[in-house]
Structure 1
């Protein structure tokens, strides 16, 4: 039997995107600010590897990310979400601001993006099975199917299937 938390996540992610956004805005009515971490494998050779998560509904992959809590510094939120979703516990000081550090999305939210590098061979990935189904390392030149939001965000950093599109260069 699935835990209640896993069932609630599945129900939430099956809702249309516009309904999910409306629910989030009811909780955070003024604006939505998220923290995202691009975690690279420090041992990988060119082109490198990136940590990705498979979350509900489970068809595509995304980055460790989440909404900031009230009055939470973005770097603290990024470290917290990384730990909650992947099991990788880093101090906020170990995260570097990505360039660009903030990505403003047309749909009304802002992602503050950070980068980190960890050795994949000695880093244990731990997921809860509710919010995150699976965490894995993928070569930058052979990424799995990405969520639309993840593909768009990665494109700002020259990564993924949309990286060559003029709007992201």
Structure 2
């Protein structure tokens, strides 16, 4: 059953205001096994180097992150990544249009695994649609002028040589 948009928005905002350890514990109560997520790094296919990146601002709304979410039971990672990308940003891509990043899986020390995919779309003709609950805002940012990122986003981008931690990750 899907909650009405307004109620879902209030639920997400309440959830994201909880301390991180409490949020993680709540998720583990619902999904008791190792959590597996799917993340998509979406670049603007029209932008000159260094390029532009699609980022989302989610509740509580202080920092920006990548389109991502947990995989459903028995869901293929590329399918989950495409689903989350569409749900969170309105960008519709076939799972076959996603390229597995190298490395494709990032294991986080706090108990989850992210499968990571790459995609490129033309920003000028790709509408961004957010629900105002789970995602407050979606926008394109130049790689050399990124907004404040969530810590996990900064770390993940750094693995792929992008963002403020790219140099630190490479060394």
Q: TM-score scaled to structure 2, two decimals? A: 0.95
Question: Post-superposition, which runs of at least 4 consecutive aligned residues in structure 1 deviate over 4 A?
Answer: none
Alignment match, 1:105: 108
Q: Deviations over 1:64-119 (max 9, x none)?
A: 00000000000000000000000011010000001111000000100000000000
Structure 2 residue 148 is matched with structure 1 residue 164? no
Alignment match, 1:18: 21
Structure 2 residue 67 is matched with structure 1 residue 58? no
Structure 2 residue 31 is matched with structure 1 residue 33? no
Instruction: Select 2:143's aligned residue among 117, 140, 148.
Output: 140
CA drift of 1:27 comes to 1.2
SS of alignment partner, residue 27 of structure 2: helix
SS of alignment partner, residue 28 of structure 2: helix
Q: Deviations over 1:24-57 (max 9, x none)?
A: 1111101100000000000000000000000000
Q: TM-score scaled to structure 1, two decimals? A: 0.96
Instruction: Select 1:67's aligned residue among 65, 70, 82.
Output: 70
Structure 2 unaligned residues grouped into runs of 5+: none
Structure 1 unaligned residues grouped into runs of 5+: none
- The separation in 2 between residues aligned to 1:87 and 1:107, in whole angstroms, is 29
